[in-house]
């Protein structure tokens, strides 16, 4: 019995840890409004708005809805949308920022087989899902 337990421990120790599929790249948001570039930011992964495709006429060009008054003058273009993402085994977990309402949410991101990203923004156990398509 003890030999079996040692054998099991040896097998488990030799099994590589699961790693999430890398998500770096450029992606068109589900509504087609912008392109987010996802890349390494130090030891984490983040995503910035690098192109605005559908600008709403009269919409602000700065982060006017941010709850932090010091950030309300920062430009929307170049803004971090995804932040602090870490490999959680089968997916990436971090925060997603919505400049339309100035709020940040827990987020789960994973890469689909077709190269698109499944992007979830969550409040408690309720998540809203979008699919972002890769941009070449």
Average pLDDT, the chain: 88
Domains of the chain, residue spans = 18-134
Q: Is the pLDDT of residue 33 over 80?
A: yes
Q: Which pLDDT score, from 0 to 100, does residue 70 have?
A: 96
pLDDT, average across residues 16-44: 91
Q: Is the pLDDT of residue 6 over 70?
A: no
The CATH number of 18-134 is 2.40.128.520
pLDDT, average across residues 37-47: 96
pLDDT in tens, 93-136: 999 999 999 999 999 999 999 999 999 999 988 999 999 999 98
User: How many Å apart are CA 98 and CA 63, to the nearest integer?
Assistant: 10
Q: Is the pLDDT of residue 30 over 70?
A: yes
Instruction: Tell me the whole-structure pTM to 2 decimals.
Output: 0.83
What percentage of the chain has pLDDT greater than the value 70? 88
């Amino acid at each position: 019995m003890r030999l079996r337990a040692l054998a099991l421990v040896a097998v488990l120790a030799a099994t590589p840890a699961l790693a999430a599929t890398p998500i770096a790249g450029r992606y068109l948001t589900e509504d087609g409004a912008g392109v987010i570039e996802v890349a390494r930011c130090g030891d984490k992964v983040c995503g910035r708005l690098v192109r605005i495709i559908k600008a709403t006429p009269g919409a602000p060009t700065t982060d006017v809805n941010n709850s932090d008054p010091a950030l309300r003058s920062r430009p929307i273009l170049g803004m971090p949308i995804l932040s602090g993402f870490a490999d959680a085994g089968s997916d990436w977990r971090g925060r997603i920022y919505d400049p339309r309402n100035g709020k940040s949410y827990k987020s789960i991101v994973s890469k689909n087989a077709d190269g698109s990203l499944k992007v979830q923004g969550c409040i408690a156990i309720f998540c809203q899902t979008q699919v972002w398509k890769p941009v070449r």
